[in-house]
Amino acid sequence: MDRIEARISQLRKELDEHNYNYYVLNAPTISDRDFDCMMAELQQLEEQYPQYDDPNSPTRRVGSDINKAFTQVAHRYPMLSLGNTYTREEVAAFYTRVQSALQEPFTIIGELKYDGTSISLTYEDGVLTQAVTRGDGVKGDDVTENVKTIRTIPLRLRSNDYPRTFEIRGEILMPWAVFEKLNAEREREEEPLFANPRNAASGTLKLQNSSVVASRQLDAYLYYLLGEELPSDDHFDNLETARRWGFKISDAMKRCDTLDDIYAFIDYWDVNRKNLPVATDGIVFKVASLRQQKALGFTAKSPRWAIAYKFQAEQAVTRLNSVSYQVGRTGAITPVANLDPVQLSGTIVKRASLHNDDIIQSLDLHIGDMVFVEKGGEIIPKITGVDMDARILIGEKVRFITHCPECGTPLVRYEGEAAWYCPNDESCPPQIKGRIEHFISRKAMNIDGLGTETVDLFYRLGLIRDIADLYTLQESDIASLDRLGDKSARNIVEAVAASREVPFERVLFALGIRFVGETVAKKLAYAFRSIDRLAEATIEELTAVDEIGTRIANSVHDYFAHPDTTTLIEKLRTAGVQMEMKVEQLADRTDRLQGATIVISGTFTQHSRDEYKALIEQHGGKNTGSVSAKTTYLLAGDNMGPAKLEKATKLGVKIISEEEFLQMIAE
């Protein structure tokens, strides 16, 4: 090894050690300045001598500004969700079920349930090789480059007694302090705020610029080890061993040998969780023995050997100062309460949702009222009541506005609707921008590179006035704009161009017709096969389509009756957007399952659950989530839910295997 290579190797080793001391042990041994100097020296040497490149160098922690699209990766072990409980009685029922099933002594491990985004990390020969999100549980996004920027996740393990290959799972989190700082910055820049640390962490992890991910200072706690050669049969011992390898493992784990131990763990953390630096929303209880976990097995959705106990939503009392009103893409007006700042679930709350006029009236709100605020997973907190005893000097009664706060148009309330709407969908700015944001979303046209801020910028500059204007954007028009540049401009234009191949049923969903979601759009697309036939359809023809009622039919009919819609459709057609079903899509359609209602349960080997749902629709069948007297078949895979099996047997529903189903739809 020459002198340069030796110095690079030494710097990497020392920086890894200091990184572990600072981020995992929270016990730094050198100053930040000294650390930065060492990092700068290593970066300079790596640039000068690229032959010594290492994908797991500490310098990779800072990320790269090279955008990379994510690829889908199948999980070796499905990432199932946990069953939720909210009461001690439900926890006791879980304990009793385990006791009854095992018929032998067992230990429960109590752990905090961190409120972030799930991640699966694979290590080979002590080196991080892949990081995959939960996704749909069967496959997720490969976010390895972004995860490498998280300093609490080791790129290389510290010991040498680890298995050759193993997987460790955990939660990616954004600490409260980082979350508050990030939202304060976004507020200063008049950018939309993140709803909570979980959404911020999830959104950050999916950014395609890993240098931005690095700047967000994400954290991680690891909580489950999988593999063929694990150190122990005991889950607790495995995590303690993983801690020695360099992983950040929670200190909150505890062995619980009795139900009273479990209750004591709940009581302690129900109070002390409020002092933690990261968000938690409950406790997880797991059977300690891996052998016993295997014996208990799984339902279709979750393991029988683990359960999540969810904390009750926190409540705070604060003063109502005013009510403001927001306009959504459909014109729906949402009232928002502006409050005295109050701490709730680790964040400073200044606003709370009032949902609609009926809620305001039922609460009998007056300006100046002391109100009860809860945060139970909603995007923003909600007001649940008024402290009438604190109402001394009554302020002005809160009355819903009568005109749009953005464009001044008189509001309307449709029969059967709780919301008030601004009917000016042609020139009300939030509605126009909202429709564009919906159009570009992942489940619609999936136009990467555009977000809320970019759409707002393009709209303010007059570059886009409707969804069709996206197809007229030129690199030269946008490359010089703030926060963009040549590469971002090229990516946006290329993503817009690629959306011309998005199939017709997603285009129909992307148009944002009121009440037309993904499923309804698909049904309408296959029923009418082109935008022209759909535009000409009568109310009677629309309601003849399965699951299309008069409310949806009237909305579709009114949308296409509007003169501006005709102009918009022609602009999209001229731009090359798909306006009819492709021949090959229709060629694959059959009526082999016509009239059949099918419930899917369990895990499968030849196709994923989503693929089976698509096959059912492709052959004329209907998917439902629960077994009823109307169910024709229960498509049963491995580890299917016992409740569905029991109900299907009781109702006489025919149970078919994966092989039988594939034979049914075969030529």
**What's the chain's length in residues?**
667
Which are the contacts of 143, defined by CB distance < 8 A and separation ≥ 6?
70, 119, 131, 132, 133, 205, 206
Rounded distance, CA 198 to CA 194, Å? Answer: 9
CA separation for the pair 409, 425 (Å, rounded): 10
Instruction: Please state, as a whole number, how many other Cβ atoms lie within 10 Å of the Cβ of residue 459.
Output: 17
Among 13, 113, 487, 523, which one carries the catalytic annotation? 113
Residue 410 CA to residue 402 CA, distance in Å, equals 6
Q: What is the DSSP string of 561-608?
A: HSHHHHHHHHHHHHHT---B--HHHHHT---TTTT-EEEEESB-SSS-
Query: How far is residue 255's CA from residue 424's CA, in Å, rounded to a whole number?
Result: 61
CA distance 288 to 273: 23
Per the CB < 8 A criterion, the answer to whether 319 and 369 are in contact is: yes
Tokens for 469, please give them.
């204007």
Question: β-strand 108-114 against 254-256: which pairing, if any?
Answer: antiparallel
Is there a catalytic annotation at residue 286? no
Q: Tell me which residue of 508, 327, 539 sits closest to 420, measured CA to CA.
A: 327
Supply φ then ψ for residue 435, to 5 degrees: -65, -35
Q: Among candidates 233, 265, 218, 281, which has minimal Cα distance to 109?
A: 265
Q: Which helix (H) or strand (E) holds 73?
A: strand 72-74
Report d(CA 525, CA 493) in Å as an integer: 27
User: What's the Cα-to-Cα distance from 312 to each of 185, 281, 538, rounded to whole Å?
Assistant: 31, 9, 49
| Nearest by Cα to 603 from 635, 567, 560 | 635
Cβ partners under 8 Å of residue 185, min gap 6: none
Beta strand extents in 272-313 (DSSP E only): 280-287, 306-310
* Type of residue found at 467: I
Are 579 and 504 contacting, i.e. CB atoms less than 8 angstroms apart?
Answer: yes
> How far apart (Å, rounded) are the C-alpha atoms in residues 471 and 487?
18
Distances in Å between the Cα of 330 and the Cα atoms of 188, 203, 406, 410, 439 are 28, 24, 14, 15, 13
- Dihedral sign, Cα of residue 446, residue 450, residue 453, residue 457: negative
SS3 256: strand
Helix, strand or coil for residue 26? coil
Task: Please report which residue ranges of 391-485 form alpha helices under DSSP H.
Answer: 429-440, 452-460, 475-478
CA 54 to chain centre: 32
Sheet holding 654-656, edge to edge: 622-624, 597-601, 633-636, 654-656
Catalytic residues: 113
